[in-house]
Chain A
């Protein structure tokens, strides 16, 4: 059963795919929409401020968002986001490989996946 069927609310995973990587205590997650028509919704949903707000207990440092407009993707660089990094983390997933799904499970902004971008 998809997350949408369970909660009735669409999540980022319904329109986009993502991969996490680590360097030291910095995690990056790149996120790409399947359908370019959903890119405006993705950009509206996933702001650097929202990622920092929702994951602030984990992400202790700054969040930067890079927009790759022509490929319809976003890259989030999250500082101090790996519980000290692979050297110090006590998390079973010390590389933060699963962090992509922290982003993918976030509910989409608005109500429709095809909502036009806000003017």
Chain B
């Protein structure tokens, strides 16, 4: 270890698969970063990626990988920033090879791309494996399995970091582990110093959703105003060797970093604040101190940790059939009444033509997102009838769309704007697996 007086600077350049690219380029150029993390994978994203890979063995990685790498490789290389990403999704090897090709096309020589595999555990788990948190086994789900991925922790990333990579690309890393691994590597934190692992996990947790900590997903005009939301900056964490950190963003970007934005993210998708499970540590966020230390600078400290869970979580993706959605809009006087008539017409017709799968009809504008909660609807003069159907039978999905479109001539007055689409669906479940059965491995590709 070499003193480490300077803070380690780690930033986020994507918090989900469809996140913005241009602010990531800005951050890589001006951020003075050591590491840029691109977090692009959700539970369902990986299941869809497995489907893509089944259709084409060269696919199954992030759809925006080409654009992201072409924009970021040159700026990260010249600024000395290591990229760590899960854009490999269901096919890290193909993603690494594609990145290698792009690097060569961009004229790089010697660029080092570490590919991490081993999260795909489909060969290690049998159909009689019990589900997590619900009764039954994988076989009981009764649907074809499309993929199984274990959540990998820092021990899968650290061997790659020791080989001085420019890019680390893998699949199902636990999101905070992509941040914790370079911190452990840089500061030489011990793997059983759970308080430090908890502190680094807090940094990862706060940053993994990108702008959700810098003013994105926060604005409520008149109550919570955010400056220049359109040009919100991605987050930077300046992490000290004791695990404390300052969360900030680049000057000249929109958004804001305040104790309020940090608090909302602190417990985002967290249940018990004292027990946040990752493959690396059981993190305790219940005593975290949060303080504003400057404009768009918030200090966080006092995260703790306990021993890591004994088993790893695995997401299992199944073929979910089809999700069919269709809609028609009504506007002007009596729009809500005409929409309600359309609902009645559709309900009668669906029964007659044999639409039997799980379905729902909303009137968007009066009774939709909060319909199940029973929150009172009001009259609106601009509403949309929305029909949704989950089915394994494509014919049933097509019949539903046809019936909704028929409202244009057969339904209430003034209906317009029909749209309908059928998309493949996935279902995901979780299981636990013995750590010993998961063997991550690194392969270095050099451009």
Contacts and interface: CB of A to CB of B under 8 A. Distances in A.
Given A17-B264, A19-B217, A70 B271 contact: no
A6 to B, nearest CB: 11
Nearest to B267: A30
Contact of A91 (B264, B272, B288, B372): B372
Contact of B264 (A23, A30, A57, A83): A30
Contact of B369 (A21, A26, A73, A92): A92
A112 interface: no
Given A17-B260, A21-B269, 8 more contacts: A17-B224, A21-B270, A30-B263, A30-B268, A66-B272, A71-B288, A77-B272, A88-B358
Interface in B130-189: 133
B267 A55 contact: no
Contacts of A57: 372-374
Nearest to B212: A19
A10 to B, nearest CB: 13
Given A26-B271, A57-B373, A2 B264 contact: no
B270 A28 contact: yes
Contacts of A90: 358-360, 388, 390
A77 B271 contact: yes
A24 B266 CA distance: 19
A18 interface: yes
Contacts of A73: 263, 267
Contacts of B271: 23, 26, 28, 64, 75, 77
Contacts, number: 100
B372 A58 contact: yes
B204 to A, nearest CB: 16
A22 B390 contact: no
B364 interface: yes
Contact of B375 (A21, A83, A102): A102
Contacts of B430: 24
B296 interface: no
B320 A87 contact: yes
A44 interface: no
B290 interface: yes
B370 A98 contact: yes
Nearest to B286: A68
A32 interface: yes
A53 to B, nearest CB: 12
Nearest to B317: A87
Interface string A89-119: 0111100001000100100000000000000
A102 B371 CA distance: 11
Interface of B: 44, 133, 217-218, 220, 222-224, 260, 263-273, 286-290, 320, 358-360, 362, 364, 368-375, 386, 388, 390, 426-428, 430
A98 B268 CA distance: 13
Given A2-B222, A77-B271, A87-B427, A19 B264 contact: yes
Nearest to A30: B267
B417 to A, nearest CB: 16
B107 to A, nearest CB: 42
Contacts of B217: 19
Nearest to A74: B267
A117 B223 CA distance: 25
15 contacts: A13-B220, A17-B264, A24-B133, A28-B267, A28-B269, A28-B271, A34-B260, A58-B373, A71-B288, A75-B270, A77-B271, A87-B427, A88-B390, A91-B369, A92-B386
Contacts of B133: 24
Interface residues of A, number: 36
A112 B174 CA distance: 45
In order of increasing CB-CB distance, the 10 nearest A-B pairs are A21-B269, A90-B360, A30-B267, A58-B373, A19-B264, A87-B427, A57-B374, A93-B369, A77-B271, A21-B268
Contacts of A66: 272-273, 286
Interface in A2-19: 2, 13, 17-19
A86 interface: yes
Interface string A17-57: 11101111010101010100000000000000000000101
Contact of B273 (A2, A24, A68, A91): A68
Contacts of B272: 66, 77
A103 to B, nearest CB: 11
Given A19-B265, A26-B271, A30-B266, A83 B372 contact: yes
B362 A92 contact: yes
Contacts of B371: 91
Given A83-B372, A102-B375, A71 B388 contact: no
A71 to B, nearest CB: 6
Nearest to B271: A77
Contacts of A87: 320, 426-428
A2 B287 CA distance: 34
Contacts of A24: 133, 430
